[in-house]
């Protein structure tokens, strides 16, 4: 018997609780100037790419029902998401940018998440379910003013 529905519901609650923290509330109120928007886009593109690596690492050691859940989630993000008209991160998104273009703290976090995903076993290492406007989070839309 799969516990994934129970785990997924708990993760959804945790993600929504995270959006209620003072730090995230503050971040979501900062106006996105063109410079900030470009900075955020660059970092979120690499964040999305890092998530794909982390989910793959978790799937390697996860039980079969968790592998299926990860694959179902990752299909649209890696191949084609009809909501976006493309995959979440493409080679064109990455363009000529390199990880060295990121601020050091972001690179450190990406490497730490990947390390945790590789070294932990199964669903304990699951990257946080981070969705913006994906139907799981409530009131988390991030739109430029």
73 backbone dihedrals φ, ψ, rounded to 5°: -70, -40
Q: What is the mean pLDDT of the chain?
A: 81
* Two tokens, residue 142: 């991030």
pLDDT band (50, 70, 90) for residue 125: very low
Specify the pLDDT at position 129.
Answer: 43
Quick: pLDDT tens for 74-109: 887 888 888 888 888 888 888 889 888 999 899 999
Quick: pLDDT tens for 21-34: 999 999 889 998 99
Please state the rounded mean pLDDT for residues 112-124: 78
pLDDT band (50, 70, 90) for residue 110: very high
Specify the pLDDT at position 102.
Answer: 93
3-state secondary structure the chain: CCCHHHHHHHHHHHHHHHCCCHHHHHHHHCCCCHHHHHHHHHHHHHHHHHHHHHHHHHHHHCCHHHHHHHHHHHHHHHCCECCCCECCCCHHHHCCCCHHHCCHHHHHHHHHHHHHHHHCCHHHHCCCCCCCCCCCCCCCCCCCC
Specify the pLDDT at position 138.
Answer: 55
| Cβ count near 113 (within 10 Å) | 19
For residue 49, give Cα distances in angstroms to 111, 114, 129, 139, 144.
12, 11, 14, 24, 22
Q: Is the pTM of this model over 0.75?
A: no
Specify the pLDDT at position 1.
Answer: 61
Distance separating alpha carbons of residues 129 and 135, to the nearest angstrom? 12
Specify the pLDDT at position 143.
Answer: 37
Specify the pLDDT at position 142.
Answer: 43
């Amino acid at each position: 018997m799969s516990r994934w529905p129970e785990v997924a519901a708990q993760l959804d609650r945790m993600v929504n609780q995270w959006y209620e923290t003072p730090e995230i509330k503050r971040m979501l109120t900062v106006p996105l100037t063109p410079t900030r928007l470009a900075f955020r886009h660059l970092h979120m593109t690499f964040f999305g790419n890092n998530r794909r690596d982390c989910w793959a690492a978790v799937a390697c050691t996860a039980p079969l029902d968790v592998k299926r859940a990860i694959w179902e989630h990752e299909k649209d993000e890696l191949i084609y998401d009809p909501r976006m008209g493309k995959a979440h991160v493409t080679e064109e998104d990455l363009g000529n940018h390199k990880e060295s273009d990121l601020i050091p703290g972001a690179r450190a976090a990406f490497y730490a998440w990947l390390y945790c995903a590789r070294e932990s076993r199964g669903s304990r290492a699951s990257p946080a379910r981070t969705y913006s406007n994906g139907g799981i989070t409530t009131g988390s839309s991030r739109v430029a003013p």
